[in-house]
Structure 1
Amino acid sequence: MKKIVICGIPMKENVDQVIYSSEDKSIPAANRPVRYPINAFLEETLKPSDEVKVVLLVKKDEYGHHEKNIGFFKAELDQANSKIGAEVNYSIIDTDFSQNKSVHENLMGNLVDEFNIGAHVIVDSTYGPKDLPIVIFTALNFAEKFLDCKIDNIIYGQASFVNGHAVDTKLCDMIPLYYLGSITNTIHCVEPEKAKSMLKTLLSI
């Protein structure tokens, strides 16, 4: 199966290696410490027949932490894949740490170029600046609508922090959040209060 994995790379220097648990059978997690939650998921779900393009979204920091973190991701996934044998290739999209409109547009355009028609897409939304999920969700919507892609999972590594270290870590799937936007697009109503009522009804289904 052709899969595209999208993951934001953190800019911070020290990213904890932790074991992620999962209460959802659809997003199993390997029982070993990882920096990137997606790798705990991929270790449990990749198949030898999978063709995987990993797209790493990098915001360049002036201290070079992003370069180390790219290496950590590759080493972590390669270790997981060593006992699976899937075909894994890497693509890196780097942009400046800036909120300029041109930066967002370039990231969006470059990300869309990475999608293969009909691919299954998995996202790790744990790391990255606040603009990244907005750009990713917009690109996913485009890929789903025009490129016949299937959005399988949007993984998020939830954690609490004690003395600066991640604790109580678990995997969450943010697919329901992604599809909230689609729900509002199904409402056709000119009366505000009726529209609110319709939205609440749809959310309760």
Structure 2
Amino acid sequence: MKRTVICNIPMKRDIANSVYTSEDSTLPVCEVSVKYPVNAVLGKILSEGDQVKVLLLVKKDHNDYYVANTQAFIDELNQINNDINTNLEYVTIETDFDEDKIVHDKLMGSLVDAIDTESHLIVDITFGPKDLPLVVFSALQFAEKFLDCQIDNIIYGQGFFNEKNEVIKTKLCDMSPLYYLNSVTNMITCREPDKARKMLKNLLSF
């Protein structure tokens, strides 16, 4: 199977390992301690012979923590892949840590250039600044419409903390329904506010 994995790389240092659980039968995970939630999923679903391109989205922080974090992802997935023997290709897409239209446009262009056509997409939006998911969602819409891609999962690693701000539990959430909310809105063609609200609620109830 041809897969494209998209993962936001964090800008902070010392990313903690966690064993992620999943309450979603469509989001299986392997019981391994990882820094990046998507790797727990990949360890469960990858098969020998898969063609996997991993797009690592990097915001260049001033402390250069992204350098070690990027390598940590590669090392982690390579270790998991030792028992699978799938074909991995890593592509790093770097942009400045700046909320500027030029930066966003560059990231969008680089993303759509790097996504393989007719591939299954798995996205991890756990880490990174707030602008990244917005740009990624736009790129996913392009990939679905023009590149014949299929979105399998959009992953978020949720953490639960105690009063000492220590992680006591982690689980994976599939954010695909949130992504498709925008598509639902686009289906509504109505200029009457009350009618449009009713139509939206009816669509969401399906």
Is 2:185 the partner of 1:184? yes
- 8 Å contact 1:51–1:88 — kept in the other structure? yes
Paired letter, 1:135: V
The alpha carbon displacement at 1:30 in A equals 1.3
| 1:108 corresponding residue in structure 2 | 108
Equivalent position amino acid for 2:6 in 1: I
Residue identity (%): 54
Partner secondary structure for residue 13 of structure 1? coil
Per the alignment, residue 57 of structure 1 pairs with 57
> What are the ranges of 5 or more consecutive residues in structure 2 without an aligned counterpart?
none
Cα displacement string for residues 13-47 of structure 1 (whole angstroms, at most 9, x for unaligned residues) = 11110110111111111112110000000000001
Of 33-42 and 162-171, deviating more is 162-171
Q: Deviations over 1:132-172 (max 9, x none)?
A: 00000000000100111111110110112333432310011
- Partner Cα separation in structure 2 for residue 115 and residue 71 of structure 1: 21
Asked if 2 retains the 8 angstrom alpha-carbon contact of 1:52 and 1:86, the reply is yes
Secondary structure of the corresponding residue to residue 204 of structure 2: helix
Q: Is 1:48 the counterpart of 2:48 in the alignment?
A: yes
Q: Which amino acid aligns with 1:191?
A: E
**Paired residues for 1:143-158 under 5 Å:** 143-158=143-158
Pair 1:136 & 2:133 matched: no
Tell me, in whole angstroms, the C-alpha distance in 2 between the residues paired with 1:62 and 1:180.
Answer: 35
Q: Distance in 1 between matches of 2:165 and 2:58?
A: 23
Could you tell me how far 1:63 is from its partner in structure 2?
1.1
TM normalised by structure 2 equals: 0.97
What are the within-5 Å matches in structure 2 for residues 15-164 of structure 1?
15-162=15-162, 163-164=164-165
Asked whether the 8 Å contact 1:54–1:88 carries over to 2, the reply is yes
State the distance in 2 between where 1:96 and 1:19 align: 31
Alignment of 1:7-18 (within 5 A): 7-18=7-18
- C-alpha distance after superposition, 1:94-131 (max 9, x if no partner): 11100011000000000110011111110001001000
Which ranges of structure 1 fall in alignment gaps of 5 or more residues? none
Partner of 1:165: 166
CA contact (8 A) 1:16 1:165 kept: no
Cα deviation, 1:60-88, whole Å, max 9, x if unaligned, reads 11111101001110111011111001000
- The alignment yields a C-alpha RMSD, in angstroms, of 0.9
> Match for 1:188: what amino acid?
T
TM-score (norm: length of structure 1): 0.98
Q: Give the AA of the match of 2:129.
A: P
